[in-house]
Structure 1
């Protein structure tokens, strides 16, 4: 029997996570079942349970993947030597979530589940902690180019702005998921009036 490589296993896990994201988006976390993930993936239940020990673990893996991609995008935007501004960072965050998630409902569900489910809560804490680290690096680099806006130093200025950046990102996603008349361009234009430039 041929050996299954780690690359093959990760490709299968990615296939399962993508199917789970579709199922959770379509039905919601509470109503979606592993059977729905099976139907979306075309795999057997055994294949799914061979990688994830249940719906909760799968939901956590999906959330971690979606949220951690944002960190990678922000890091990539900083590699050219010109750090992105706070508005550019917010645009990267919201743009990536818009690409990854049909309408953002699954993140609203994730945040709700994190208030009652300790496993999901821990996943959110870990992923947001990673995102804060990425934001700190990006904002610190940007404030380093704007000492006029960072009288106490780039680190202090970045630390001060991070909670507002997270709030603006969550506000974007929450309104996008809940409001029929949400205008993402108008939201970002409003954010531009409050973020340092």
Structure 2
């Protein structure tokens, strides 16, 4: 029997996760069954269970994927160029949430699940700790480069801005998921107007 490479296993896990994202987006975490995920993936039950122990493990992988992928993208946003302003950072981060495979309604489900399940809540804390770290790094660098703040003052300023930046992202997600008339472009234009740029 040919040896299965790590790359093949990772590609298969990604395939299963993508099928689960589509399933959860259509049926919700509670409404989707393993049979639904298996059907959506087009794989056998054995192929699925060879990578995930069950629905909960797939849900955790989906949560990490839908939130963590935006953090990874943000990390790479300004490599090798001057520090972007806070408004540029959020203007880059937020539209990607709507363009991802898992759009805002699924992100809301992840947050809802975190309210009733400890493992999901811990995962959310981890991912948001990463997001806060990336935001703070950009905000501090911008404050030093463009506002002439010293390191201590820039760090304190960035920490004060963090809750607002997180809240603006959450507001974008909630409104775009819930309100049919939500105008993402107007939201981003307001963000660019009122945040430091």
Q: TM-score, normalised by structure 2?
A: 0.93
Tell me, yes or no, if structure 1 residue 164 matches structure 2 residue 164: yes
Asked if structure 1 preserves the Cα contact closer than 8 Å seen for 2:114 and 2:120, the reply is yes
Tell me the equivalent position of 1:79: 79
Off by >3 Å, runs of 4+ in structure 1: 148-152
| 1:72 CA drift (Å) | 2.0
Partners of 2:53 and 2:164 in 1: CA distance: 36
Asked if structure 1 preserves the Cα contact closer than 8 Å seen for 2:144 and 2:151, the reply is no
Tell me, yes or no, if structure 1 residue 154 matches structure 2 residue 143: no
| 1:151 CA drift (Å) | 9.4
| 1:193 CA drift (Å) | 3.1
Tell me the equivalent position of 1:55: 55
Deviations 1:120-177 (A, max 9, x none): 1111111111111111112111112123577952211111111111110011011110
Tell me the equivalent position of 2:34: 34
Tell me the equivalent position of 1:65: 65
Tell me the equivalent position of 1:12: 12
Structure 1 residues 45 and 70, CA, compared in 2 at 3 Å: closer, same or farther?
same
Structure 1 gap segments, 5+ residues each: none
- Bigger fraction of residues in helix: 2
Structure 2 gap segments, 5+ residues each: none
Pick which of 110-119 and 94-103 moved more.
94-103
Tell me, yes or no, if structure 1 residue 144 matches structure 2 residue 144: yes
Structure 1 vs Structure 2 CA RMSD? 1.7
Partners of 2:77 and 2:2 in 1: CA distance: 41
